[in-house]
Amino acid sequence: MTKKKTRILLGTKNQGKVREIKKLLRGFPIKFIDLKKFKDIPSVKENGRTYRANAGKKALTLARMTGEIVMAEDSGIEVKALGWRPGIYSARYSGRGATDVRNNAKLLRELNGLPVSKRQARYRSVVVLARAGRVLMASQGSCRGRIETELKGRNGFGYDPLFIPEGYKKTFGQLPIKIKHRISHRARALRQFKKKLIYVDFFRK
């Protein structure tokens, strides 16, 4: 008899993240379910001061609301010339109703005229797994690079058309997805996540 897969709810409404996480964890013996399966689930207010705090709050809140094991992730881009902003505010950088287009446009405006040598940046990601009021584990990853002077490429989402990872000459928006899935902040956080799952029996109630 085949053992039934344990399922984990992906605690995000960002379909770009959902697709990316599922691809990065493809083949892992877990069934991942989408938040869209739960109607009328309100958005969790991300008012923490760190990625870890925000990811933890989302995971714990959604676990309580749904009764599921929940994986939540918080991530952002940090630009050295901007004092490492926008950071945890990356998704809502351009204000109410923020979109990828508006966020990228604001970032380009704020860095206008700055030479490439002063456009250092890094992507960061923190993943938290929670169940029944308890954080079961957390992992993190980062990817250093710089910000382009204009949008390039259509792959990925968020700030990908502006971010050139260290060691490359193209943005995540231009690079093949398989490269991004090897070196990105989220890929690194999820590799650590998988390693921890092997040693932690988080399926026990």
- Three-point CA angle 157, 153, 54, nearest 5°: 20
**Of 197 and 154, more confident:** 154
Asked whether 160 and 153 are in contact (CB, 8 A), the reply is yes
Asked whether 103 and 151 are in contact (CB, 8 A), the reply is no
Confidence of residue 196 (pLDDT cuts 50, 70, 90): confident
Is 74 labeled as catalytic in the residue annotation? Answer: yes
Q: What is the pLDDT of residue 43?
A: 87
Question: In sequence order, what are the residues at sequence separation of 6 or more whose Cβ sits closer than 8 angstroms to the Cβ of residue 90?
Answer: 75, 76, 77, 103, 158, 159
pLDDT > 90? residue 55: yes
Task: Quickly name the fold that domain 6-199 has.
Answer: Maf protein (3.90.950)
List 34, 40, 74, 160, catalytic entry: 74
Q: What is the pLDDT of residue 201?
A: 59
Q: What is the pLDDT of residue 103?
A: 98
* CA-CA-CA-CA torsion sign (176, 177, 179, 184): positive
Percentage of the chain lying above the pLDDT 90 cut: 77
Question: In sequence order, what are the residues at sequence separation of 6 or more whose Cβ sits closer than 8 angstroms to the Cβ of residue 13?
Answer: 35, 36, 43
Name the residue among 158, 138, 141 with its Cα closest to residue 202: 138
Region 120-140: mean pLDDT is 95
Confidence of residue 100 (pLDDT cuts 50, 70, 90): very high
Q: What is the pLDDT of residue 204?
A: 46
Region 135-140: mean pLDDT is 94
Confidence of residue 145 (pLDDT cuts 50, 70, 90): very high
Q: What is the pLDDT of residue 5?
A: 73
Region 22-51: mean pLDDT is 89
Q: What is the pLDDT of residue 1?
A: 39
Least confident of 104-113, 143-152, 190-199: 190-199
